[in-house]
Structure 1
Amino acid sequence: MRTAVSISMVLGAALAASPAIAQTSVEREVDEVVVTATRSTLPANALPLTVEVIGKPALDQQVAISGSVVDAVSALTPSFSPTRQKLSGSGETLRGRSPLYAINGIPQSTPLRDGSRDGFTIDPFFIDRVELIFGSNALQGIGGAGGIVNQVVVGAPSQEGWSGRMLLQGTADDEFHGDGYGKKAAGLASWRGGGFDATVGGAYETRGAFYDGDGNRVGVDTVQGESQDSESWSLFGRFGYEFGEASRLDLMLNRFQLDGDGDYLAVVGNRGLNIPASAIRGTPPGIPARGRTETASLTYTDDALLGGHLVAQAYYNRTRDTFGSDPTPIATFQDARIAPVGTLFDQSENRSKKLGAKFSYERTVPGWEAMTATLGFDLLKDRTEQALVATDRAWVPPTDFRSIAPFVQANLALLDGKVRVAGGLRNENVRIKIDDFTTLAFYGAREVDGGAPKFSDTLLNGGVIYEPIDGLRAYASYAEGFTVPDVGRITRSITQTGVDIDDFLDISPIISNNREIGLEWKRGPFEATAAYFWSTSKKGQLLVLVGTVFEAQRQRVEIEGLELNASLRTPIPGVTVSAGYAHLTGKTDSDGDGKVDIDLDGANISPDRILVALDYARGPWTGRLQANGYLARDYAGADPRNSFDGYALFDGSVRYDSGRWGGVTLAVQNLLDEFYIDYNTDTQQPTNNQRFFAGRGRTFTLAWDYRF
């Protein structure tokens, strides 16, 4: 049997724990914070959105605990799903839908053939803050079905001359296994002189094997890829020039690469006996799974152009994600015309390139100063394919995506700002072009006529905000989001003859809407927020297991949920107590009658969650103790073996900042060394013993950082 956990007892213990360690974490809709992902200079409290900003101290604290930006966001955001602790983020959702990952607004996702590597495209050392916008919206164009996770890189240096920082870090499991050690070194140097500034940096990290709460190696996913047993390196540059006080030109460059070391073979587990998959020393065939991302952007901002604010950005993004292979040749890749069935080894690689541009201009309307208006125009061209490495076959044919999207937004302040009415529209004009192609033999070697279907839709958003007194705010909003289905999964799995892409409706875009009401109190030592939302897409996308491969299916999806967050600065100096709760329900239409009838499963929605934390910040000492409780869940209409029993995890961090000699941080993930089965694999594929993974056990990270 799985380890039974009483969530109430665990979280009660967290509240009663000593506040000797902590540091505050998330700035929730702070009035002064301008969230760049909203594409407005208005503060977050002037917008009918649920917004969170994870600042640099909190981000560094969480990354020290868990190692990645994705894990940091998940740990601090109750409506974000538990992470897989793998290189692949497939099934990780925000409010039950896939979020759009971005770096300074530059999309990192590859929706045409979603390789789910978009959470690993830059080293966290170069991130200054993470902006979260919740719910379906089209603020950043394609991909924001569940929301936006915008990673804002380090800013320009504020002082003349040289400045910088460095980091040295080591990681180990609690039994200090020799192959479980990890290490990291990173540095950043900046120079500013007159109007010119430059920041350059590099980071290198190796990760050892992961061990679970019982002291056994965590199983390896040799196909989708691993963050354990890997090394990564990243190069970063930001170069800017200021044309006076109001305008600036910025060039940002980033290259991130994570390569699996390929030192382990998978050991099959046993779901019936609750024995997770493990790993032994060995070399899997082919190239270990790896990912590489290169991003460049040129951004011009002018805060005083004709009395308004201009942002113009051009960007380039290229990704190459290689998937590994099992020791047994994958059935999908077999072709008797090449080799006897069961003998052909192959593996696939996603290749994607994006070119894009974004323009927005915002100012108050002359003669009507209470009205702030924004005009914008976005362009995007994306080319993606998925090729088989060994035999040079096209699994997913080259697919071109082109989007032209003008938009307009308006925000009207009434009654001295106590009431605000906001709204806008965005017109998406999309073309998806695919040449003639032939599917793999596994799908019947079907000849498919290519085409270039076009789609156009106007996406609406609107809302009202009421702030009767300082600190009390209520809002209601409606917003439509836009993305495309995983075109690659759909086209590669065509099994019928005579398909013409021009008439193949399964690749039409996904339009999702988000209706939301929210209430918040931010005054004095107590802060609280509550939001309830409904999200619907008539022709959504689900990941459904077909044989051994997940394929995309188009079905109606309805999701609703409740999010609660609260924090209290206690009378004890430096101590803050915070708590969060998220409740999500999701259903889909399995029989195509237009009505939802079964629950979304663990591949498509996260469990309910309770988050409780104690923060401490006084003098040179800061720290945090946090508990995340994932609540049990059954799925109506699904295999009962995929029911989720729930578990709870504690994490902790303590930091001492000496000032002159830098700071030292000790972080502990899974403080109680809890043994648990990863949510994503526990709720799927009940007969797959190879992908039955335990979560990571107690892990220590010791880091020293220094600024100059």
Structure 2
Amino acid sequence: MQSNNLMMSFHTSLLCLTACICQNLYAQTGSAEPVLLPILKIEATRTDTEWLQTPASVYRIEQDSKANHLGVNLSETLQGVPGLQLNNRENYAQDLQISMRGFGARSTFGVRGIRLYVDGIPASMPDGQGQTSNIDLISLDHIEVLGGPFSALYGNSSGGTILTTTKQGEGQDSIELGYSGGSQHKSRADVVLQGGADQAGEPSYVVSSSYFDTDGYREHSAARKVLSNAKLTWNLDDGSRLNWIVNHVDINADDPQGLNRNQWKNNPKQVNDASNQYDVRKEINQTQTGLTWSKPVSDQHELYAMAYLGHREVIQYQSIPRAPQNNPRHAGGVIDFSRDYYGTDLRWTGKDLLPNTRLTAGLAFDYMDEDRQGYENFNANGQFGVKGNLRRDEQNILWNLDPYLQASWDFMPSWTLDAGLRYSNVHYESNDHYIVTGNGDDSGKTDYDKVLPSAALSWKIKDQLNAYASYAKGFETPTFTEMAYSANEGINFNLRPASSDNYELGVKAQNAWGAFTAAVFQSKTRDDIVSAGTIDGRATYKNADKTRREGIELSWNKNLWRDLTAQASYSYIDATFDAAIPDSTVQKGNKIPGIARNQAFASLGWQPETGFNAGIDVRYMDKIYVDDANSDAASGYSLVSANAGYVWKQADWKVRTFARVDNILDEDYVGSVIVNDGNGRFFEPADGLNWSAGLSVSKVF
């Protein structure tokens, strides 16, 4: 009864908040002078609507406005997006830790629970496992971040969606050379070639390549990264457009691992293994290519097709002692896999086939075939950090075939109904080729599927003010990596997919006072996939009966005067276990680890096209619990950063310089936590006061 009263109180509070904000923005709109506002089209929802009319929490970030950065990590660009939590591990072997409204927070490496796309091509596998390492910031045009119920349009593991788009070549041929460096011997050199097409049928192009290396903030955290990206675009005589994208990334990174609290306090720069005998590290090599094609068949019909293929190789050396590997069921301390993947997405859109209606029907197919081996991380002489005897050998196959439908109906002059339906299904199969005495056949297969309906009702209160309400079913399968180990140390085919009900109320305004958004949300999840602990490098997972995430997101940005802009955002999320987990320390009401309850961001920038530019920003992150028992937490922190630069243009030449200082107050803080680490090594410390600076020169021919 008490729980129902609390829930009713929460719903009432959210409705009151939305009504108050709506009333306030309506009054502002009415009192403000008419103002010419930019029209911003949103691509993520596939509804061909402007940002203001899109009934979803969606944000578009222009990369040009983020120029005064080193340009290596996605966290440099996506600051200030409400609901999005980015934790920089200062560890290039494990990628960024990204969560959206709490989804994905359990990840100990890579990205989970959030769908990633690069130029329309998935950067997430069919099981939802993804990485940001192949996103090329120096040739990036913009990013769209889609959260809330509308993300269900992208199927499995879409607690949120991040879509990045590379620039399209335009104008005369040009070359840009750049170099930047910073603290911890960070160094990045890059080159960008680009040019537009003179006539239909000729390609415009953008080709970029960069080399980055660093000694790292911590001991044994050096990294080297080579990233190349190319995009060719043809605008054909029949009105169609063809994009061809090629991408390659090569990473070699040492891994200092997490620290326990005493290690962190005594020396945050130290490597977990003081003698570094394990030489923990990772090597990644990935190449992929893809085509996207769109064609307006007529005023009412449009076709879209995407196809891609890629190859990824990873070898990772872990810090697993010899004793656990004496168990014949243990998979060893070296992970070595080779993965081929490919897929397609075919889509038709019909406009006004029914009055004031837009229809979309599509079919998405993705496939992954992986050869995975495990080896002992020691040799016959007892030396660690080398590849020893084979301990695991299997072929893993994943695929999905998802049909989907979308409809948008303007059924009244000021009212629109958006609806979607996607049948999401993922098929797992593992064939075990390592069968020896004491280690039986772990082959197996399983299927997960779910029908995902979604609906959104939007109300155009005024030309510059919109409100909406939305609902969708969510679906998240375990990744193959999360299924890799179980209580009996074989593949955990008993893990169930998570299913969620997602609700959102929102309001948007764009007027003389700026662009405002306010959203309140709730997600109720059954069988949520949560960490069951990490011991000696082996992460295990289990299902929680019920979890709940609910909160508030606010954002505002405005051009204050001439080239002076301001931005602010705030996020509150209450993420809790809604039921105890048997045979564990998890009680009802415990907070889900890895999630900050409060986040805030504010920035002020002077950004003319040429001449002097500068900016300052402040970011606040609340404390983050490290485990399900909430036994410890990484403290909250506030970071202040400042940047300045100068852009000089003369005839065919352009010179850009920048200098940046991050963590000006030299805050001692933890950048991310390793959730539920069984050895208590939860903390990954972040850098103190640090700087970066760069210079680029471009020439038009």
TM class, shorter-length: 0.7 to 0.9
Matching residue's letter, 2:153:
L
Query: Does 2:364 correspond to 1:375?
Result: no
Matching residue of 2:205: 199
> Post-superposition shift, 1:241?
3.0
Query: Does 2:133 correspond to 1:120?
Result: yes
Matching residue of 2:383: none
Q: Secondary structure at the match of 1:58?
A: helix
Q: 1:376-455 alignment to 2 at 5 Å? A: 376-388=362-374, 390-391=387-388, 393=390, 395=392, 397-416=394-413, 418-436=414-432, 445=439, 447-448=441-442, 450-455=443-448
Check conservation: 2:556, 2:567, Cα contact below 8 A: yes
Check conservation: 1:397, 1:437, Cα contact below 8 A: yes
> Post-superposition shift, 1:482?
3.1
Give deviations 1:365-404, integer Å, cap 9, x for gaps.
32x3311111111111122354225347465842212211
Q: 1:231-250 alignment to 2 at 5 Å? A: 231-244=224-237, 246-250=239-243
Check conservation: 1:265, 1:281, Cα contact below 8 A: no
> Post-superposition shift, 1:475?
0.6
Give deviations 1:452-497, integer Å, cap 9, x for gaps.
3333321101010111111111111012333321233324335079
CA distance in 2 between counterparts of 1:619 and 1:235 reads 27
Q: TM-score, normalised by structure 2?
A: 0.81
Matching residue of 2:522: 534
Matching residue of 2:165: 152
> Post-superposition shift, 1:38?
2.1
Q: Secondary structure at the match of 1:93?
A: strand
Matching residue's letter, 1:628:
R
Question: Which of these residues, 170, 173, 188, is aligned with residue 180 of structure 2?
Answer: 170
Give deviations 1:485-525, integer Å, cap 9, x for gaps.
1233324335079x9x8xx441x433333211111221113
Q: Secondary structure at the match of 1:618?
A: coil
> Post-superposition shift, 1:259?
1.7
Matching residue's letter, 1:423:
A
Matching residue's letter, 2:404:
F
Q: 1:212-611 alignment to 2 at 5 Å? A: 218-220=218-220, 229-244=222-237, 246-260=239-253, 270-271=262-263, 273-278=265-270, 288-305=281-298, 307-326=300-319, 329=321, 334-335=325-326, 346-366=333-353, 368-388=354-374, 390-391=387-388, 393=390, 395=392, 397-416=394-413, 418-436=414-432, 445=439, 447-448=441-442, 450-495=443-488, 504-506=493-495, 508-548=496-536, 549-555=538-544, 556-570=546-560, 572-588=561-577, 589-592=579-582, 597-603=588-594, 605-611=595-601
**Shift in alpha-carbon separation, 1:700–1:456, aligned structure 2, 3 A:** closer
Matching residue's letter, 1:189:
Q
> Post-superposition shift, 1:564?
0.8
CA distance in 1 between counterparts of 2:123 and 2:436 reads 28
Q: Secondary structure at the match of 2:216?
A: coil
**Shift in alpha-carbon separation, 1:78–1:648, aligned structure 2, 3 A:** farther
Matching residue's letter, 2:157:
G
Matching residue of 1:48: 55
CA distance in 1 between counterparts of 2:559 and 2:469 reads 28
Question: Which of these residues, 677, 680, 694, is aligned with residue 702 of structure 1?
Answer: 694
> Post-superposition shift, 1:439?
8.8
Indicate the structure whose relative CO is greater, using CA pairs within 8 Å and at least 6 residues apart: 1
Matching residue's letter, 2:185:
G
Q: Which runs of 5+ in 2 are unaligned?
A: 1-36, 105-113, 376-386
> Post-superposition shift, 1:86?
2.1
CA distance in 2 between counterparts of 1:91 and 1:706 reads 34
Check conservation: 2:128, 2:157, Cα contact below 8 A: no
Check conservation: 1:574, 1:616, Cα contact below 8 A: yes
CA distance in 2 between counterparts of 1:394 and 1:40 reads 50
Matching residue's letter, 1:445:
N
Q: Which runs of 5+ in 1 are unaligned?
A: 1-29, 174-178, 212-217, 221-225
What number of residue pairs does the alignment pair up?
633
CA distance in 1 between counterparts of 2:365 and 2:332 reads 40
Matching residue of 2:30: none
**Shift in alpha-carbon separation, 1:666–1:31, aligned structure 2, 3 A:** closer
Question: Which of these residues, 214, 223, 227, is aligned with residue 208 of structure 1?
Answer: 214
Q: 1:98-113 alignment to 2 at 5 Å? A: 98=104, 99-110=114-125, 112=127
Matching residue's letter, 2:397:
D
Larger mean CA deviation between 183-192 and 389-398 belongs to: 389-398
Question: Which of these residues, 607, 612, 622, is aligned with residue 613 of structure 2?
Answer: 622
CA distance in 2 between counterparts of 1:702 and 1:86 reads 22
> Post-superposition shift, 1:692?
4.7
Q: Secondary structure at the match of 1:672?
A: coil
Matching residue of 2:109: none
Q: Percent identity?
A: 16
CA distance in 2 between counterparts of 1:700 and 1:276 reads 21
> Post-superposition shift, 1:36?
2.8
Check conservation: 2:241, 2:294, Cα contact below 8 A: yes
Matching residue of 1:130: 143
**Shift in alpha-carbon separation, 1:292–1:247, aligned structure 2, 3 A:** same
CA distance in 2 between counterparts of 1:276 and 1:287 reads 18
Larger mean CA deviation between 70-79 and 483-492 belongs to: 70-79
Check conservation: 2:80, 2:569, Cα contact below 8 A: no
Query: Does 2:74 correspond to 1:69?
Result: yes
Q: Secondary structure at the match of 2:98?
A: coil
Q: Secondary structure at the match of 1:255?
A: strand
Matching residue's letter, 1:150:
L
Matching residue of 1:677: 669
Q: TM-score, normalised by structure 1?
A: 0.80
Report the RMSD for the aligned CA atoms in angstroms: 3.5
CA distance in 2 between counterparts of 1:55 and 1:690 reads 34
CA distance in 2 between counterparts of 1:558 and 1:148 reads 20
**Shift in alpha-carbon separation, 1:68–1:266, aligned structure 2, 3 A:** closer
Check conservation: 2:118, 2:163, Cα contact below 8 A: yes
Check conservation: 2:476, 2:497, Cα contact below 8 A: yes
Give deviations 1:85-138, integer Å, cap 9, x for gaps.
322247531111122121122221246494x6x011132112211111012523
Larger mean CA deviation between 297-306 and 30-39 belongs to: 30-39
